[in-house]
Amino acid sequence: MPAKLNLFLFTVLMTTVLLTACSGQQATEVPEANSEPATTVDSTEATEAPIEETTAVHVTDEVPAENTEVTDTCDDGLRSIDTAYGPTCIPVTPERIIALNEGVMANLLALEVTPIGVLDYANRDFTQYLGDTTEEIASVGTPDGPSFEAMLALKPDLILGMDFDVDEEVMETLEQIAPTAISPKDSVDWRSNFLYAGETTGKLSEAEALLETTDMRLEAFRTAYVAHVPADKTIAIIRSRADSFNIYNKESFIAELTKEAGLRMPADFDELDGWNTLSLEAIPLLRSDKLFVMVRNEDEAGMFNDMSGDQLWQTLPAAQNDEVYLVNWSVWIAGWNIIGTNLAIDDFFFYLLGEEAPTPNPFSDLIIDGFGPQYDEERLAIE
């Protein structure tokens, strides 16, 4: 969960902001609980519950109305927009945006809007595929430990986030720094959250066009897959951890995207919770025709090495037929943005149809060279 300021620190923070405004002092002198951006957090310990434990999926075809007009309820130069915490006033054309997670950052970059700051983990491994594209974007702490002082120093005119980024207490603090827009949609609903980024930045028409291209690419895969692959063929998606593994069967970005793509999972998966932690004894559950494995880093490769060396593993159809694939963690788990989604579609074509997508990835200029299928086979120490 995001760090919370206690009442005393919050009072000190806001009082100093007011004094700074009157005296002309620099905003960076404001004291607060986490006074330095936490840019060296161990990524293996980063909390991921917002991604993996989402319990409600609200995929919708509704397109938010483009709202770029100044309304009677907002001051000059501002406009009203709906948020998860009710309507709020934001700049007509925001220019200094802080993203509350790397997915929001990616959505903004897709719209050719570069945020000035982002809450991120060490090495920004939620968006590995962006590489140096983000090096000029300042870190303002981690999702678990935001630095409100760093945010103040950047003088944002908009803070943009998703439903899992804040609670009411943190929201109150953020609103003292800059207008804050939290998407009212579930984080798994990558379409609506991308359109929300377009709406808040005044680029809704551009977002709609990019979404149309993405949906066209996804539909091209689904049509080809259904036409060429027997209906009884199944896939399974797992994440290897240091001493356990998870099956991604529901209530996650990649599980929902595979359903849209026409992919099927073993019927037994329906009985599993969306958030599950399994040991080697659960290997027989993975009786799918193809098996996709996600490994975040070398520390988490241990379970996969143990699994693949286990006698039970050798009984799996995917293992017997050499249909086990190592896919990128930042795409298949944390890809809940328009760029990550298109990379996942590229993987679908490569691994499941053995070909490239007929329509090129619209974000290829933002993606680091060499990133794509089989990237992790070289990156990680897999035996």
- Spans of all domains in the chain: 7-202, 210-379
Dump the DSSP string for 204-215. Answer: HHHHHHHHHHHH
pLDDT tens per residue across all 383 residues of the chain: 444 334 444 444 444 444 444 444 443 333 343 434 333 333 333 334 444 433 333 334 444 444 444 445 899 999 999 999 999 999 999 999 999 999 999 999 999 999 999 999 888 989 999 998 999 999 999 988 999 999 999 999 999 999 888 889 999 999 999 999 999 988 889 999 999 999 999 999 999 999 999 999 999 999 999 999 999 999 999 999 888 999 998 878 999 999 999 999 999 898 888 778 899 999 999 999 999 999 888 788 888 888 999 999 999 999 999 999 999 989 998 888 999 999 999 999 999 999 999 999 999 999 998 887 767 665 554 54
DSSP classification of residue 380: S
Is residue 49 helix, strand or coil?
helix
CA distance 46 to 339: 22
Which residues are CB-contacts of 268 (< 8 A; sequence separation ≥ 6)?
285, 287
CA distance 109 to 123: 18
Would 7-202 and 210-379 be classified into the same CATH topology? Answer: yes
CA distance 81 to 183: 10
Q: Which residues pair with 118 in a beta bridge?
A: 99, 139
CATH topology assigned to domain 210-379: Rossmann fold (3.40.50)
Q: What angle do CA 295, 339, 97 make, to 5 degrees?
A: 110
**Is 7-202 in CATH node 3.40.50.1980?**
yes
Is residue 290 helix, strand or coil?
strand
What H or E segment, with its residue span, contains residue 345? helix 338-348
